[in-house]
């Protein structure tokens, strides 16, 4: 274990930085005088003290991180960081007479940081504003990944930032550098993310939201998280204009942020629109919305205009793993909600704020399947798998196949585990799928008009585990369980 002491030191630095984020809800608690300022101050102090003790106490263990250290740190962070995010949730809810046990509070924190958007809380409209700010702000931090942020602004870590960056960034192809220095790349990506955040906030504000509501829903939109400060989610506003703003920014956040970075760095957008994964993402989300709209119109659920409005909004909301809702779409023909939930697993791009399988893996799988079918007819044909002008390495293809196997086995196993607890199959399967894809709402009793508050502690832990696996893309976390990982 001494080999991992440098990892604990870096985690201490991350935890110290994370404590600063607690002053965001502290400020709103002070501004709105909701009586919870002491909770946020004490929570920040506990977080900073633990982080400082690790960072300072292990300062002499300062060395270059290896790939397995990066994997360990990322997994360690996404499991333990929600533990500290849980403390102010438990203390603040207790102070307002809404006590919550550790299991459900940890679930809420994990849901926020992994940008899942599932919740076990009810009566959100009556919660103190600082609690809702914290819930939504956690999504914003998790959207681009707090580790990428740390690589960008904490060069004092003195470790191999490239190992952290590659371990955190989603997708099968991670080795191509956007800039010579990983720190500059991380800064650039967070610069794009922050720019989108400001633009989204201003658009919501101009569209009729109050400043505080615009900020909280901006946090939930650009991170593709979907947690809201209202029980009725986006239906609270009943505004086509705000729904249009949400659609635009959900689409933007579903695409690879590296493409925006490259386009702005080079000063032209030609390569941006030629990217096959970008086109696949936009076609899947917009095309999926049109399919749902067509079903709603054909089944006489809505007229043409309302079918387009509700179909496109909800398909993009669920397909992008955001999870906003304006109506109870479980009342629609069964095809629509099931199609939208399945879309959430494949539509977002690698390098975006979304989770799931990712569009680039889907494209690689489709091209690999086409190549295998060609080989049946022409066994000696040489037909490399390509994405755009790039030939995909065989190692990447094998990685994608391994990921798909683990993804399928994990989803089925956890679903069966929930069914074993006497949960109905529709709710069990959709809850696991929504957790693994970090989507939030599912089908059955966890649909848009329900939440996860009625789950038992064991069921909540299963979904929490699924969210962490989905955020870590499974293989990274499962690698920790293999004996070879712990050998020097």
pLDDT in tens, 153-180: 555 444 444 545 555 555 664 545 555 5
Neighbouring CB atoms inside 10 A of 304's CB total 11
**Whole-angstrom distance, CA of residue 253 vs CA of residue 364:** 22
For residue 386, the surrounding DSSP H or E stretch is strand 386-387
Which of 15-29, 370-384, 471-485 is the least confident region? 471-485
* pLDDT tens per residue, range 135-145: 999 999 988 87
Q: With contact defined as beta carbons under 8 Å apart, do 82 and 113 qualify?
A: yes
pLDDT at residue number 172: 60
> Tokens at residue 464, please?
């929490």
Quote the pLDDT of residue 198.
Answer: 96
- Calpha distance 87→301 (Å, rounded): 45
Range with lowest mean pLDDT among 155-164, 280-289, 324-333, 389-398: 155-164
Q: Which of 269-278, 413-422, 438-447 has the lowest mean pLDDT?
A: 269-278
Q: Are 222 and 253 within 8 A, CB to CB?
A: yes
**Higher per-residue confidence, 345 vs 170:** 345
Q: Which two tokens stand for residue 283?
A: 């076609």
Percent of the chain with pLDDT over 70: 89
Model confidence band, residue 280 (pLDDT cutoffs 50, 70, 90): very high
Q: What is the pLDDT of residue 354?
A: 86
Distance CA 475, CA 18 (A): 26
pLDDT tens profile 47-58:
999 998 987 887
Q: Which of 288-292, 331-335, 341-345, 387-391 has the lowest mean pLDDT?
A: 387-391
User: Which residues have CB under 8 Å from 236's CB, separation 6+?
Assistant: 125, 228, 230
Whose tokens are 């790349």? That residue is 185
Q: Check residues 400 and 317 and name the one with the higher pLDDT.
A: 317
* CA-wise closest residue to 334 among 447, 452, 455: 447
> 104 and 90 in contact (C-beta within 8 Å)?
no
Q: Could you give phi then psi for residue 479, rounded to 5 degrees?
A: -60, -30
What is the predicted pLDDT for the residue at 177?
A: 54
Greatest distance between any 2 Cα atoms in the chain: 74
Residue with tokens 């990428």: 148
Residue 310 confidence class, pLDDT cut points 50, 70, 90: very high
Q: Count the neighbouring beta carbons within 10 Å of the beta carbon of residue 124.
A: 19
| pLDDT, mean of residues 265-294 | 88
DSSP state string for 177-196: -SSSSHHHHHHHHHHHHHHH
Chain-wide mean pLDDT for the chain? Answer: 86
In this prediction, residue 1 carries a pLDDT of: 55
pTM score: 0.90
Range 441-447 contact pairs with CB under 8 angstroms and sequence separation of 24 or more: 441/117, 441/118, 441/226, 441/318, 441/323, 441/325, 442/341, 443/330, 443/337, 443/338, 443/341, 444/330, 446/118, 447/328, 447/329, 447/330, 447/337
Q: What is the pLDDT of residue 64?
A: 63
- Sign for the CA dihedral angle at 7, 9, 10, 14 comes to positive
In the three-class reduction of DSSP (H, G, I as helix; E, B as strand; rest coil), residue 387 is classed as strand
| Residue that has been written with the tokens 């270059």 in this structure | 64
Q: Which two tokens stand for residue 247?
A: 């659609």
What is the predicted pLDDT for the residue at 301?
94
Q: Does residue 314 register a pLDDT over 80?
A: yes
pLDDT of residue 420: 96
Which residues sit opposite 386 in a β-bridge? 391
Give the phi and the psi of residue 174 in degrees, each rounded to 5. -125, -5
Rounded to a whole number of angstroms, the CA Rg of the chain reads 22
Judged against a pLDDT cut of 60, whether residue 216 lies above it is answered with yes
d(CA 225, CA 250): 10
254: DSSP letter: T
Q: Residue 160: what pLDDT?
A: 47
pLDDT per position as a tens digit, 226-252: 999 999 899 999 999 999 999 999 999
Out of 61-65, 221-225, 296-300, 437-441, pick the least confident.
Answer: 61-65
Query: DSSP strand E in 111-206: where?
Result: none
Residue appearing with tokens 């924190």:
109
Distance CA 106, CA 32 (A): 26
Is the pLDDT at 223 greater than 90, yes or no?
yes
pLDDT above 70: residue 277: yes
Residue 65 per-residue DSSP state? P
How many angstroms from the chain centroid is the CA of residue 239? 26
Residue 77: in which H helix or E strand, if any? Answer: helix 67-95
Helix (H/G/I), strand (E/B), else coil: 391: strand
Local confidence band at 435 (pLDDT 50, 70, 90 cut-offs): very high
390 three-class SS:
strand
Q: What is the pLDDT of residue 220?
A: 94
- Distance separating alpha carbons of residues 265 and 252, to the nearest angstrom: 18
pLDDT at 388 over 50: yes
Q: Where does residue 420 rank: exposed (0-12), middle (13-18), buried (19+ CB within 10 A)? A: exposed
Mean pLDDT of 396-409: 88
Asked whether the beta carbons of 118 and 451 are under 8 A apart, the reply is yes
Q: How many Cβ atoms are within 10 Å of 343's Cβ, its own excluded?
A: 26
């Amino acid at each position: 274990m001494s080999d991992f002491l440098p990892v604990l030191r870096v985690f201490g630095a991350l935890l110290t930085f994370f404590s600063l984020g607690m002053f965001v809800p502290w400020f709103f608690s002070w501004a709105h005088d909701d009586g919870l300022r002491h909770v946020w101050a004490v929570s920040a102090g506990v977080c900073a003290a633990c982080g400082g003790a690790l960072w300072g106490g292990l300062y002499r263990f300062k060395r270059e991180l290896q790939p397995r250290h990066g994997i360990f740190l990322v997994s360690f962070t996404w499991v333990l960081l929600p533990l500290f995010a849980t403390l102010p949730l438990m203390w603040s809810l207790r102070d307002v007479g809404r006590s919550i046990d550790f299991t459900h509070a940890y679930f809420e924190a994990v849901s926020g940081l992994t940008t899942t958007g599932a919740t076990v809380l009810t009566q959100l409209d009556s919660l103190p504003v600082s609690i809702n700010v914290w819930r939504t702000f956690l999504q914003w931090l998790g959207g681009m990944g707090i580790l990428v942020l740390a690589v960008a602004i904490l060069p004092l870590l003195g470790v191999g930032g490239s190992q952290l960056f590659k371990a955190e960034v989603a997708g099968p192809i991670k080795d191509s550098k956007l800039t010579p220095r990983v720190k500059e790349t991380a800064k650039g990506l967070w610069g794009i993310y922050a720019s989108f955040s400001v633009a989204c906030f201003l658009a919501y504000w101009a569209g009729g939201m109050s400043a505080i509501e615009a900020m909280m829903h901006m946090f939930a939109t650009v991170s593709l998280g979907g947690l809201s400060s209202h029980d009725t989610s986006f239906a609270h506003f009943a505004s086509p204009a705000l729904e249009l703003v949400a659609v635009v920014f959900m689409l933007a956040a579903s695409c690879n942020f590296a493409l925006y970075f490259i386009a702005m760095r080079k000063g032209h957008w030609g390569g941006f629109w030629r990217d096959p994964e970008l086109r696949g993402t936009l076609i899947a989300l917009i095309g999926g919305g049109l399919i749902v709209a067509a079903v709603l119109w054909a089944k006489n659920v809505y007229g043409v205009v309302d079918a387009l409005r509700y179909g496109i909004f909800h398909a993009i909301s669920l397909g992008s793993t955001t999870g906003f809702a304006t109506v109870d779409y479980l009342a629609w023909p069964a095809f629509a909600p099931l199609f939208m939930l399945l879309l959430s697993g494949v539509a977002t791009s690698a390098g975006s704020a979304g989770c799931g399988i990712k569009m680039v893996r889907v494209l690689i799988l489709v091209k690999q399947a086409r190549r295998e079918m060609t080989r049946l007819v022409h066994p000696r044909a040489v037909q490399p798998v390509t994405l755009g002008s790039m030939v995909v390495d065989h190692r990447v293809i094998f990685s994608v196949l391994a990921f798909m196997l683990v993804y399928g086995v994990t989803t089925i196993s956890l679903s069966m585990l929930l069914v074993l607890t006497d949960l109905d199959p529709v709710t069990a399967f959709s809850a696991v799928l929504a957790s693994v894809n970090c989507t939030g709402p599912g089908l059955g009793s966890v649909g848009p008009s329900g939440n996860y508050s009625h789950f038992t502690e064991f069921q909540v832990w299963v979904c929490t585990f699924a969210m962490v696996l989905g955020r870590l893309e499974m293989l990274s976390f499962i690698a920790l369980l293999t004996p070879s990982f712990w050998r020097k």
